[in-house]
Structure 1
Amino acid sequence: MRIFGRARHRPSTDWRLATDRAFTLIGDGRYEDAGALLTRAADLEPWLSESWFNLALLHKFRHDWEQARTAGLRAVALLDRATGAPDWWNVGIAATALQDWPLARRAWQAYGLRVPVTASDTAGTSEPRGMELGGAAVRLSPEGEAEVVWGRRLDPARIEIQSIPLPSSGRRWGEVVLHDGVPHGERTLTAGGTLSAYPVFDEIELWAPSPVPTWVVLLEAATEDDRDALERLAADAGYAAEDWSSSVRLLCRSCSESRMPSDEGDGTVRQDPHDHSAPGQPGPLGHMSPGGPGQPWVPERECGLAAPAGLVRGLLDGWVADSPDTREWRDLEEVC
């Protein structure tokens, strides 16, 4: 854990010892003990913005958003620079978690980001929109069986999931997750000869659930075009299908948190986490990915579907009806 040095005066030895010990305890997951030490540090040096920044950080780890907001506001009140301080980013995350939109806007603007104001919200009381932050990846359950999926950034602290997560994640397509501000890793895509890098953020918690269930189904798709037809059919209906047989690869944590291309793997089966390639840029599932780049197409595909119960069978039947000689499905199961 890095403690940002922005103090106007050198903190006392007792403050530094208490703070260093607190961050050691945080690393061990002992948040209660760390909280007592950071509270003592704040009592020792209440004029230091770091005292309150560190408390805000601890409350963020604990998902105690009211306390994170309070400590964060104490920290920014003591800052000696106008923009760019990480204190404001933590305030923005806490405000977003609490849906305190005026404060969230103020935090992003104070950090140095442009937050458009819509004609219908000149007072800035609704959630910030139109920041045009683009796509990114998010690591679900970063402390567990982590899974990296693709999504659309709604603002600096939220991503809407656009991949179909595996059932082990407990997450669904279309859910919105709150994420941390510092990326851990990148995914790169090449389109039109241009290489683009996308950050991978760590999920903090679920912000908005999705009512759309996740299904797994086994397909017989004679060609890639047959597989693609199901994905288009689901998308046209406002939902999603994803060929997990080619879009999921297994990476060790070190690889996942580094810069990884999304259209090729390193040919090694690793333990975790699951890593979804971007739509149209399939990556291998471990070492023996059926139909991966440079490999022959395998008709049997394991596919994830995100669609309501009343629609999912109709989608699959309609897909088969369009080309009954080259398409079949079986073993449909709701998994999340």
Structure 2
Amino acid sequence: MFSGDRETGRAIAEGYEAFEAEDWPRAGDRLAAAAARLSGRKAKAAWFDAALAYKFARDWPRAYETGKVAVTHVRRGREEPAFWNLGTAATVLRDWDTARDCWAGYGLPPFPGTGQIDAELGPTCVRLADVGEVVWAIRLCPTRARVINVPFDPSRRFGEVVVHDGAPSGERTAGEMTVPVFDEVALFEPSAIATLSVLVTAAPGDLDPLAESFARRQLGFEILASRVDLCDCCSRSSIRQERAEYDGEQRLFLGAGEADARALLEAWTAEEPQTRSWTNLHPA
């Protein structure tokens, strides 16, 4: 065996050992070093896994550079995950031309135009990194979504745009609609809308018109009593979200500026002052 073969074999072994240990930077480095000396299927696998390791490390420049090599080893239009991984890295780095090419290379319908992709691809759910909370969102491109829930964790915000993974990790059903849950991989665009907390009192059914008034203004509205805590295993399964009716004293989280929130709350109470009231509006 030539010394170059031994070095390549050692790099592959060390790369996959690091991969198993979730030492993502080392896994990426060693697999990329080996891939550069390989050809054929072995090169294809090593470049893909190197790019994947850098993605797991959230080292987007390296995920991008190794991903660009990885896609040269696969065929276009065959739903090859190498294109999806590169498209994700290109999106985080805001290289929209490369992202568009990757979605076409994966086999998706084309996204015409130039610049940032802001399509309307329907609802989905995203599991927020670090906090583990699953929120509803609207997909803007194959790997970006805007959060339309008010997260219960006040470190996260209504209106954030996140980059999510391409492999579903659970699903949520509301009414007749079932959507996948994707894991967040990066915060793409923070939200300027801080979360507000308010205590309201309402008769049965009275919270529905308040929620609708916030929705019409494209603002966030959450009832804290609707929170359901799940273990990680259950969170990654199929969950049906049942609609419940809340009345009496309830704590709300609002994704709105204070002036807008105050105006909507006052208009709501003015309609039924005998049964509706609110107090203690403040940052959560």
Correspondent of 2:144 among 151, 158, 182: 158
Aligned residue in 2 for 1:200: 181
Deviation at 1:52, TM superposition (A): 1.6
Identify if the C-alpha distance between structure 1 residues 183 and 76 changes in structure 2 by more than 3 Å, giving closer, same or farther. Answer: same
Correspondent of 1:252 among 231, 239, 249: 231
Aligned residue in 1 for 2:219: 239
Identify if the C-alpha distance between structure 1 residues 18 and 41 changes in structure 2 by more than 3 Å, giving closer, same or farther. Answer: farther
Correspondent of 2:35 among 34, 42, 66: 42
Contact 1:22 1:38 in 2 (8 A): no
Q: Distance in 1 between matches of 2:57 and 2:15?
A: 17
Residue 253 of structure 1 aligns with an amino acid whose one-letter code is D
Aligned residue in 2 for 1:312: 261
> Deviation per CA, 1:10-59, whole angstroms, max 9, x where unpaired?
xx754652342121121xxx334333432332244265122221121122
Deviation at 1:298, TM superposition (A): 4.0
Question: Which stretch of structure 1 is more off in the superposition, 308-317 or 38-47?
Answer: 38-47
Q: Distance in 1 between matches of 2:106 and 2:36?
A: 27
Correspondent of 2:122 among 128, 134, 138: 134
Identify if the C-alpha distance between structure 1 residues 40 and 238 changes in structure 2 by more than 3 Å, giving closer, same or farther. Answer: closer
3-state SS of paired residue (2:175):
strand
Aligned residue in 2 for 1:209: 190
3-state SS of paired residue (1:177):
strand
Q: Distance in 2 between matches of 1:190 and 1:313?
A: 31
Percent identity between matched residues is 37
Gaps of 5+ in 1: 1-11, 264-280, 283-290, 292-296
Q: Distance in 2 between matches of 1:316 and 1:222?
A: 15
> Deviation per CA, 1:233-279, whole angstroms, max 9, x where unpaired?
22233312222212x2111111110111111xxxxxxxxxxxxxxxx
Contact 2:196 2:258 in 1 (8 A): no
Normalised by the length of structure 2, the TM-score is 0.89
After TM superposition, the structure 1 = structure 2 runs for residues 81-160 of structure 1, keeping only pairs within 5 Å, are 82-117=77-112, 121=113, 125-130=114-119, 132-141=120-129, 144-160=130-146
Question: Which stretch of structure 1 is more off in the superposition, 35-44 or 207-216?
Answer: 35-44
Identify if the C-alpha distance between structure 1 residues 65 and 36 changes in structure 2 by more than 3 Å, giving closer, same or farther. Answer: closer
Identify if the C-alpha distance between structure 1 residues 173 and 13 changes in structure 2 by more than 3 Å, giving closer, same or farther. Answer: same
Question: How well do the aligned residues superpose, as a CA RMSD in angstroms?
Answer: 2.0
3-state SS of paired residue (1:312):
helix
Query: As a proportion of its length, which structure holds more helix?
Result: 2
Correspondent of 2:162 among 168, 177, 183: 177
Q: Distance in 2 between matches of 1:71 and 1:33?
A: 14
Question: Which stretch of structure 1 is more off in the superposition, 100-109 or 41-50?
Answer: 41-50
Residue 305 of structure 1 aligns with an amino acid whose one-letter code is L
Aligned residue in 2 for 1:266: none
Identify if the C-alpha distance between structure 1 residues 94 and 36 changes in structure 2 by more than 3 Å, giving closer, same or farther. Answer: closer
Q: Distance in 2 between matches of 1:80 and 1:239?
A: 43
Gaps of 5+ in 2: 1-7
The answer to whether structure 1 residue 64 and structure 2 residue 44 are counterparts is no
Question: Which stretch of structure 1 is more off in the superposition, 153-162 or 47-56?
Answer: 47-56
Contact 2:28 2:49 in 1 (8 A): no
Q: Distance in 1 between matches of 2:179 and 2:188?
A: 22
Q: Distance in 1 between matches of 2:26 and 2:55?
A: 15
Contact 1:15 1:45 in 2 (8 A): no
3-state SS of paired residue (2:278):
strand
Deviation at 1:89, TM superposition (A): 0.1
Residue 307 of structure 1 aligns with an amino acid whose one-letter code is A
> Deviation per CA, 1:270-293, whole angstroms, max 9, x where unpaired?
xxxxxxxxxxx34xxxxxxxx5xx
List 4+ stretches of structure 1 deviating above 3 A: 12-16
Aligned residue in 2 for 1:52: 47
Contact 1:167 1:214 in 2 (8 A): no
